[in-house]
Structure 1
Amino acid sequence: MSQWRLDWPTASGPRLCTAVIRQTPADFMVDELVRPDTFTGDGEHLCLRIEKTGDNTEFVARELSGLAGCRDFDVSFFGLKDRHAVTRQWFSLYRPGRTDDQALISKVGERWPVLESTRHIRKLRRGEHSGNHFRLCLREITADRIEVDQRLKLLSETGSPNYFGSQRFGFGGNNIEQAVKQGDRPRRGKSFRAGMAFSAARSWLFNEVLAERVVRNSWMTPIDGEPDRACVSGPLWGDGGTAATGELEALEREVVARTPEVAAVFGSTRMKPERRPLMLPLSNLSWRWPEERVLELEFSLEPGGFATSFLAEFIDVVSGDSVPKPAS
């Protein structure tokens, strides 16, 4: 059993039942959303919108660099997407002066469907898309349909706590454990794995603070010391801890102090403290019951939002694959 809490309190009441998700990859479909003016249409970077099934984002990025004959660093994307899913997302490849884009697109198309292609003046950066649209199928639901409908209606109005999803922390919280072991050693030239561990520790502390706000029923209400009272937020811990002041700073430091071994990871990171909204807003939420115990959901989330954090507000997810339940 993990020493790290990986399941946090709900804000809208007890979970209604369990449900199976990802019985097949098509049960979890993610489509990256971009604004119409995102791409310039010319520039040194070839951008491809690819549909992948059963592959994680980093694997596809590495394969693209091999197909294009460029460095791994020359391939970029807006965000990590699930492996056990059908996902459509954009990748950029640095190809200055190349005129053989169509030949490369044909090679890529032998591996994955290429849905769109264009050029852009710079590489894609994390979180610069407008969001993600999800189409999910939940199976073996045992709760009363009316109860589920009522809970979904409530969530469509209030949103849900903006917890980081469990995939961020690794199996059994292993990424947090790795962060604690590596401590606050200098991260100059750190590996991707070390960076993931650091990010996991930061995310876990955020979830702990958000959980405390949920328990106190203050996760939608500004507290004295909020850096921006128009956006109720929690800490992404950094050098010096938190950007909050006053009452809110005291609360956040109190929660973080409960796990000094995790707090110690940030002793000399030179990482500026940041904030993350406590509320996860839902857009365009709709649902239907195609069969007695089967629920189909569609909704959109802003960048950084985890679909399974929304699902956890009304069900316990049982993953249909053999890995720990993932997130968005």
Structure 2
Amino acid sequence: MCSRGRWPMTTSSDRVAEPVARAGPRLKERPEDFVVEEIPAYAPAGFGEHAYLFIEKRDATTSGVARALARMLGVPEREIGFAGLKDRRAVTRQWFSVRDPAGAVTAQRALGLEAPMFRVLEADRHGNKLRRGHLAGNRFEVTVRGVGVARLPDAVRRLEAIRADGIANGFGSQRYGSRGNNHRIGRALALGREDEALRLLAGLTEPGDGSRYDAEARGLFDAGRIAEALEAFPSGSVAERRALGALARGGTARDAIHAVGALQRSYWFSALQSAVFDDVLADRLERRAPWALAPGDLAFKHDTGAVFRVDAGEDAQTLARRVAALEISPSGPMWGPDMTRAADETDQAERAALARAGLSPEDLARAATGWRLRSLGARRAMRVPVADACLDAGADDRGEFLRARFTLPAGAFATVVAADLFGLPDEAHRRRAW
């Protein structure tokens, strides 16, 4: 069972009315059902040229908060930093940094900022900008509705298995965007096909697009009526509106992709890497012992994040013991020129997954240079430990629910854990269409 302890709970007074519930198990029925708190990699020093703001957002994107902060504080958006993207349909708490060498963003000013989507909980200062990856992990509190105490024993059994063995470190469906095609946009950019990237971004290209709220705007784009499409896209479609704005001013497709900004392009490239990783992981999970290490693998050390190559001379019993203790795990490719390559059959399998995406290592190297990406390529653990985990059951005005609390390392997806615990559908650990 769970106790409140240090876990950030949302009280009933914080909740707002939501639509009537649908039948069956339900995740993220309302934002308060998915609570995330960032665990920073370091504490603010109390001085320095960057203001640090600990912000709680509700039903908003991290990027949207960054844009709002830039407007409210009168600074360029590029001067806003954050360590990681948090779920939109959630209540999340994380640090943002604002470059402020003049000291204009005082604690009093920061704590006085008001916006419908967020509130500032703490203010401090530090010497450097927050960048992606500057976090140790995240604490989660996930409530699943439409299931009650009768399902608790099954969930407890699953939790015990996850505690012992960890969980496959696939990417949740949110990595691929609401239309599920972020990875395809990333591939188009990697291959220098800006026109294709624009069609995937703004056109009617995916199943179900015709029933979307922005279907009219997408149809106008496909018809070449750029100015009308720009007017029809809602204000929340930031990338689409920026791209179409550039086209309406007479720009090329490449100008349009530049207009969306470096941060959005990095999301697309990250989704491309993620899809290839998920392909490799799907292969691994088909093995009888998916976490067993073999020569050619790059083993991921969970305590440091470093990797080491598994050679034929490694002691198999020692490796097996460390794998069983969740000290080390196989790693998979986040492809790019900065990535350490595996060897032997492992490297062949990883190159085959990249080839199934229609790409080569050389394509990614050209993309990194052509789009001036800060870094492209890393190793990612194929499984991760789930810490501080507990379960309980309850009921409120919305009916019965099960609730899980747990901590994950940076980059791991709570929706994947929830899907495993509660038998929910999730698109992690599967191959994606190109």
| Fold shared by both chains (TM-score > 0.5) | yes
Please give the alpha-carbon distance, in whole angstroms, between the structure 2 residues aligned to 1:49 and 1:218: 42
Deviates more, 1:196-205 or 1:178-187: 178-187
Q: Matched residue of 2:180: which SS?
A: helix
Render the CA deviation track for 1:114-163: whole Å, top value 9, x for unaligned.
22111101111211111110011111127743222211111121111000
**TM-score, normalised by the number of residues in structure 2:** 0.63
- Select 2:191's aligned residue among 184, 196, 204: 184
**TM-score, normalised by the number of residues in structure 1:** 0.82
Q: CA deviation at 1:98?
A: 2.0
Residue of structure 2 in register with 1:68 after alignment: 73
Q: Matched residue of 2:87: which SS?
A: coil
Residue of structure 1 in register with 2:351 after alignment: 253
Largest Rg, 1 or 2: 2
If asked which structure has higher relative contact order (CA below 8 Å, sep 6+), I would say 1
Does the CA-based 8 Å contact 1:21-1:318 persist in structure 2? no
Residue of structure 2 in register with 1:29 after alignment: 35
Residue of structure 1 in register with 2:392 after alignment: 288
Please give the alpha-carbon distance, in whole angstroms, between the structure 1 residues aligned to 2:144 and 2:409: 22
Residue of structure 2 in register with 1:148 after alignment: 155
Q: CA deviation at 1:255?
A: 3.3
Does the CA-based 8 Å contact 1:242-1:249 persist in structure 2? no
Q: CA deviation at 1:242?
A: 6.2
Does the CA-based 8 Å contact 1:50-1:90 persist in structure 2? yes
Please give the alpha-carbon distance, in whole angstroms, between the structure 2 residues aligned to 1:110 and 1:249: 49
Q: Matched residue of 1:26: which SS?
A: helix
Please give the alpha-carbon distance, in whole angstroms, between the structure 2 residues aligned to 1:33 and 1:280: 16
Render the CA deviation track for 1:35-55: whole Å, top value 9, x for unaligned.
5x5211100011010111111
Pick closer, same or farther for the CA change 1:259–1:97 going to 2, 3 Å.
closer
Residue of structure 2 in register with 1:199 after alignment: 270
5 Å-filtered alignment, 1:151-162, equals 151-162=158-169
* RMSD between aligned residues: 2.9
- Select 1:94's aligned residue among 99, 106, 128: 99
Render the CA deviation track for 1:265-285: whole Å, top value 9, x for unaligned.
536234654210001211100
Residue of structure 2 in register with 1:5 after alignment: none
Paired positions, count: 303
Higher helix share: 2
Pick closer, same or farther for the CA change 1:129–1:193 going to 2, 3 Å.
closer
- Residue 235 (structure 2) pairs with residue 137 (structure 1): no
Q: CA deviation at 1:110?
A: 5.5
Does the CA-based 8 Å contact 1:138-1:296 persist in structure 2? yes
Does the CA-based 8 Å contact 1:20-1:318 persist in structure 2? no
Please give the alpha-carbon distance, in whole angstroms, between the structure 2 residues aligned to 1:209 and 1:242: 16
Residue of structure 1 in register with 2:364 after alignment: 266
- Percent of aligned positions that are identical: 32
Pick closer, same or farther for the CA change 1:198–1:135 going to 2, 3 Å.
same
Structure 1: gaps of 5 or more residues: 1-17
Does the CA-based 8 Å contact 1:239-1:268 persist in structure 2? no
Matched letter for residue 171 of structure 1: S
Q: Matched residue of 2:185: which SS?
A: helix
Q: Matched residue of 1:232: which SS?
A: strand
- Select 2:334's aligned residue among 229, 232, 236: 236
Residue of structure 2 in register with 1:279 after alignment: 383
